[in-house]
Amino acid sequence: MFLPVTRLRVFFFPALRRAVSAAVVLAFFTVSGAAAMPAPPQVSAPAAIVIEASTGKVLYAKNPYARHYPASTTKILTLLVALEQGDLNDVVEVSPRAAATEGSSLGLAAGDRIRLGDLLWGMIMLSGNDAAVAVAEHIGGSVWGFARLMNEKARQIGLTGSHFVNPNGLPDPNHYTTAADLAKLAAYGYKNPLFAAIVSAKFKTIPWREQPKGRTLESVNHLLWTYEGANGVKTGHTEAAGYTLVAGAKRDGVQLIAVVLGCRSDDDREADITKLLDYGYQRAVPYVLYEPGAVVKSVRVKGGPGLVPLTVDRFVAVPYFEGETAQFETVVEAPAELAAPPAPGTKVGVLRLVYQGRVLDVRDLVAGRAAPGR
């Protein structure tokens, strides 16, 4: 979708003189529109939020900082800690404690030996509480040791209203979170490609005991089938927590994350999430800055008249927030001059997309075919 740029300023100056002479071009875009703000959704959940993931922009919130039991949405953090601190090829021996864990289960038995990576698929797709404990004991030495790692990671990400004492979300007075924290946690997770693959999978076949063809898992997150663009994240339910859900969806490059906590039923949970995501896509729409092949900058060749165009090979887009003004910067880092024309397709620089001082994306700039200079 193309939207108007109401202001564009470009500056060019020498900079970054470290290993090579380089230049930085900054373009400041202010994007705005006249469309009226859509009416906010009416949700039954006592706590809810929907954000645009790349910017962290909050599009709607209801009691986002109220503490709630997270139930199995806890496993989002368990997955992240395991991906960052575990070796996915490690073979985990399932303890009697892990195998006996109550609630939703992967069906592990004491003494089972299973690859850590396969446990993670089962922990998320089937919401296996037993798998979560096996992961925690393997990486943290114990459930408490792993909980310590979880809380350290939560602080690093910037979660301010959460505390965790187990890897699966079984009720405990000292185990709680907020809608705002869960949205921030999921947004952090999507930066990891394997995290994104696990939480968005509908089916996955893993090795399983004596089954030569393995065992095919089917995700318990029904939203993956029912909502256009759905790509995660995690359901949850206990009597104490009610029905919880952290949901992700991606359309035209816009990644949304919606959270509901404390819903009364599965139907209420899915209805609320659908309303939040629908509202989010009314508010956040893509604005294309550069199409594939667009020339971002041209660089002169030393001692010659030729100019080498620097292009992007994919769409570069930003989320535009309906009814508001959003400011973005594109920062181009490339040599001020080239010694010789590079072969087409050679990486020459990078394009950084910045929102409110934070880098949203980094794209390679590649050489196009040199053109005669003037």
Residues 139-157, mean pLDDT to the nearest whole number: 98
Digit-coded pLDDT (tens) for 60-74 = 999 999 999 999 999
Predicted confidence band of residue 320 (pLDDT cuts 50, 70, 90): confident
pLDDT digits (tens, 9 = 90+) for 193-235: 999 999 999 999 999 998 999 999 999 999 999 999 999 999 9
The CA distance from 232 to 192, in Å, is: 13
Say if residues 331 and 354 touch (Cβ distance below 8 Å).
yes
Q: What is the tens place of the pLDDT at every residue in 117-142?
A: 999 999 999 999 999 999 999 999 99
Is beta strand 337-338 parallel, antiparallel or unpaired with respect to 295-301? parallel
What is the DSSP-derived secondary structure letter of residue 72?
A: G
The residues annotated with a catalytic role in the active site are 72, 75, 127
Report the residue count for the chain: 374
Q: What pLDDT is attached to residue 24?
A: 56
Q: What percent of the chain has pLDDT over 70?
A: 89
pLDDT digits (tens, 9 = 90+) for 248-267: 999 988 999 999 999 999 99
5-31+291-367 and 47-286 in the same fold: no
Per-domain boundaries in the chain: 5-31+291-367, 47-286
pLDDT at 329 over 70: yes
88 confidence band (pLDDT: 50, 70, 90): very high
Could you confirm whether domain 47-286 is CATH 2.30.30.830? no
CATH class of 5-31+291-367: mainly beta
pLDDT, tens digit (0-9, with 9 covering 90-100), for 23-33: 555 556 566 55
Mean pLDDT, range 260-283, rounded to an integer: 97
Distance CA 147, CA 34 (A): 48
| CB atoms inside a 10 Å sphere around CB 229 | 14
| Distance separating alpha carbons of residues 94 and 85, to the nearest angstrom | 19
Task: State yes or no: pLDDT of 313 exceeds 90.
Answer: no
Q: What is the predicted pLDDT for the residue at 38?
A: 86
pLDDT in the model for residue 12: 29
pLDDT score, position 341: 86
Q: Which strand (E) or helix (H) includes residue 157? A: helix 143-157
Question: pLDDT (tens digit, 9 = 90+) per residue, 43-59?
Answer: 999 999 999 999 999 99
Q: Is the pLDDT of residue 322 over 80?
A: no
- CA 328/CA 27 separation, integer angstroms: 8
Phi, psi angle pair for 358, to nearest 5°: -110, 135
| Among 78, 75, 206, residue whose Cα is nearest residue 138 | 78
pTM: 0.87
pLDDT at residue 286 greater than cutoff 90: no
